[in-house]
Amino acid sequence: MPALRKLLLLFVSCTQLIACNTHAQDLTLVNDRHSEYTIVIPEKPTALEQKSAKVLQDFLARVTAYTFPVVKEEKRHTTPGIYVGETFYGNKAHPGKIRSEGFLLEAYKNNLLIKGGSGRGLLFGVYDFLERFAGCRMYYADAVATPAMKTLSVPGDLHLDEAPAFEYREVYDPASLNDDYLAWHRLHRLDDLWGLWGHSFNKLVPAKAWFASHPEYFALVKGTRQPAQLCLSDKNVFDLVVNELRKRMKDNSDAMYWSISPNDDNGYCQCPTCKAADDNQGGPQGSLITFVNKVAKQFPDKLFTTLAYGYSHKAPRNLKPADNVYIFLSDIDAYRDKPIQDEGTAATFRHDLDAWSKLTDHIFVWDYTTQFTNYLAPFPNFQTLKANVKYFKQKGIKGVFAQGSGETYSEFTELRSYLLSRLLWDTGADVRKLSDEFLAGYYGNSAGKLLDQYMSLMQDNLKISRRKLDIYGNPINEYKTWLSPENIDQCSILLDKADAAAESNAAWQDHLKRCRLSLEYTVLQQARMFGIEKHGIFIQDDAGKWVAKPKMKEKITAFTANCKKAGVTELSEGGLSPDQYQADWDSILARVVTPSRIVGARTELKYPFAEDYPARGNKTLADGNPGYKDYSYNWLCFYGVPMVATITPDAPVVCSNVTLHFLSDPRHWIFQPDSLILEVSVNGGDFKAVSTMKLPPEPEHYEVQIPVFSLPMKLKKNEKVTAFRVTATCPPFPIWRDNDRKKPMIACDEVYAY
């Protein structure tokens, strides 16, 4: 038995020795600034192959301090090579086809192959190699890391064959402006793929050019032709669209997709022919898909997209999109504190996605990753990113447009872009590992850990509050919940510590200043709402006059300067630039406040205010804080019902006038009242009407205005009012801003009694 055991042990040892000897030996590409390798490109390289070789050469020189020669294949001799692109040797060694936009990294004998599929797959492969083996990183367009390495090796058995999870991948954030960032992170840019993008009806048949002379080309809405959308059953409209597309395609023959989509508005056509198509398919998507299919048939070699958004979100009953038509489905109505698959407000999207999927497998998703009304506001949605992308992949989605803040800087845009780009390539990417890596590389190891605590605290505070994360929300409504002054102070302490930890590195300090913009913006916005109260803008001087707090103007000036340095061009979608924001604040500080005689009065409402924009609830109408041009705070809003407010001051007051400010913001379906009635009580019981005002219909406009209405009272001399009742009626939608999916709104900031 001992002899048998010895033989067995000898056999195992020999087997292990053979396995070790047959294990492929690592390829040492550089050793102490020396190398036997050259970068080999095809004899007749394409522009992409030349660029890929140049990128590889440049970055390897930064990392290893050795510059690899780049040679054409015909000049190759016997030295080992890094074969880039469609070389004869590479194709012979690996003749198989690389998947679309994918790449191959392979050690073959003593050589390294980098091959790519269609598109920029080869360049993607080069960047992957630089990350995976040379430790290079591009955290943001202005932050590239290239560590120093004396030895650079790759495994001798290397075989990596990758392809993207989605055929279309876009993260619409400021980083998307940088070509190198896009290539490094394997992303697309809509301008590079689409000949015509997004809402396109008005681009194909402009209302300014055609509505006056041919109103029949446009939608019949409640019996009247309106320029909001097109009449999709009109033959001339079809001819105009086809001719316009043909002209644009001639000028942009390389474009992959062409959008035929409704304008970002309501008012689809209700003419008999369009209505028949819609009734047949269960909604306005019937006439839309019929029209898009008809146009797509004229261009069988082109790809078209159309938006399933707003009134066109539902799938038709049985009308299938043509084979060259992609449906671009929006999830705009979903809150963002939970993943799409779990969020209640995403139920309609999930249902729509399932319904469209029964008709076509050509579906893109238009997703949203920021707060469009306040780009700098805290928006802790990081825990949903991976879950959402995985859900899209599981449902068979072919492409994702992740809309962030576009060309303007927003809160943590650098990290969101970094994570989303990796997830759109590989839905199983390790977000925790990637996040740790980014935070350490972009902010420094110690500061990065503190920022991780900062983000966790934000996330925990949101979760504890049970509040929803709305892409059209604001940081003001959360002043009692997850963005309370107390919570903001705790977050600020972590940023202070991060600043101290990164003080030795100027780049890290600049990056942290961008982070701080989010809290600074929140504090400034909430100060407008707090007004004359603690944490507000104003204090009383020794004479009892309300004035701006000391250094308030300096804080705002510093904030706007840091915004511009960070790349903030607008603070909300279509909103103020930093300079305009400064001017807006200058106006607020100059205006100060002039509280009326009924500040703090008790207010009772006959109809409930809009829960979406609670302001201070009933107290809003007598809290002494004026409203400005943002409807989301200091304005008490009413959807489709009158504002009937009974205001009872603590003691009877003598006054001769009541003044009210209303907001007019048609873009958000907010209009001035239809009529005003003022009633007063002088005996603590009965009310009598003392002033009425009938207002004319509001003319068409889209500017934010604050009309002021004065209601005089004719009372006996020194007669005191014990209570006021103000009635403001809500108008119907004007024909120029009709919306059958919403209710009109009126908004009042304060009842001023003088």
Question: Helices in 144-284 by DSSP H: which ranges?
Answer: 179-184, 190-193, 201-204, 207-210, 235-251, 272-281
Q: Look at residue 717 in the predicted model and tell me its pLDDT.
A: 86
Q: Say yes or no to pLDDT of 14 above 90.
A: no
> Could you write out the three-class secondary structure of 311-332?
HHCCCCCCCCCCCCEEEEEECC
Q: 617-654: b or e for each residue (b if 16 or more CB lie within 10 Å)?
A: ebebbbbbbbbbebbbbbbbbbbebbbbbbbbbeeebe
Q: Look at residue 75 in the predicted model and tell me its pLDDT.
A: 66
pLDDT tens digits, one per residue of 545-577 = 889 999 999 999 999 999 999 999 999 999 999
Q: What is the DSSP letter of 215?
A: G
Of 427, 358, 349, nearest in space to 388 by CA: 427
pLDDT tens digits, one per residue of 251-304 = 999 999 999 999 998 899 999 999 999 999 999 999 999 999 999 999 999 999
pLDDT tens digits, one per residue of 446-455 = 999 999 999 9
Range from 354-358, 463-467, 538-542 carrying the lowest mean pLDDT: 538-542
Q: Look at residue 33 in the predicted model and tell me its pLDDT.
A: 95
Range 18-26 average pLDDT: 58
The phi-psi region of residue 65 (left if phi > 0; otherwise alpha if psi is between -120 and 50; otherwise beta) is left
Identity at 578, one-letter amino acid code? P
pLDDT-based confidence at 714, cuts 50/70/90? confident
Q: Say yes or no to pLDDT of 2 above 70.
A: no
Q: Which residues pair with 648 in a beta bridge?
A: 602
Q: Look at residue 76 in the predicted model and tell me its pLDDT.
A: 61
Which domains does the chain carry?
A: 27-163 (3.30.379.10), 190-429 (3.20.20), 430-519 (no CATH), 531-593 (no CATH), 602-753 (2.60.120.1190)
Q: Say yes or no to pLDDT of 501 above 90.
A: yes
Separation of CA 329 from chain center: 15
Q: What is the DSSP letter of 648?
A: E
Q: Look at residue 20 in the predicted model and tell me its pLDDT.
A: 39
Q: What percent of the chain has pLDDT over 90?
A: 89
d(CA 256, CA 1): 75
pLDDT tens digits, one per residue of 51-65 = 999 999 999 999 999
pLDDT tens digits, one per residue of 215-247 = 999 999 999 999 999 999 999 999 999 999 999
List, in order, residues 6 or more apart from 90 with CB less than 8 Å away.
Answer: 83, 113, 115
> Model pTM?
0.90
Q: Look at residue 51 in the predicted model and tell me its pLDDT.
A: 98
Q: What is the mean pLDDT of the chain?
A: 94
pLDDT tens digits, one per residue of 661-700 = 999 999 999 999 999 999 999 988 899 999 999 999 999 9
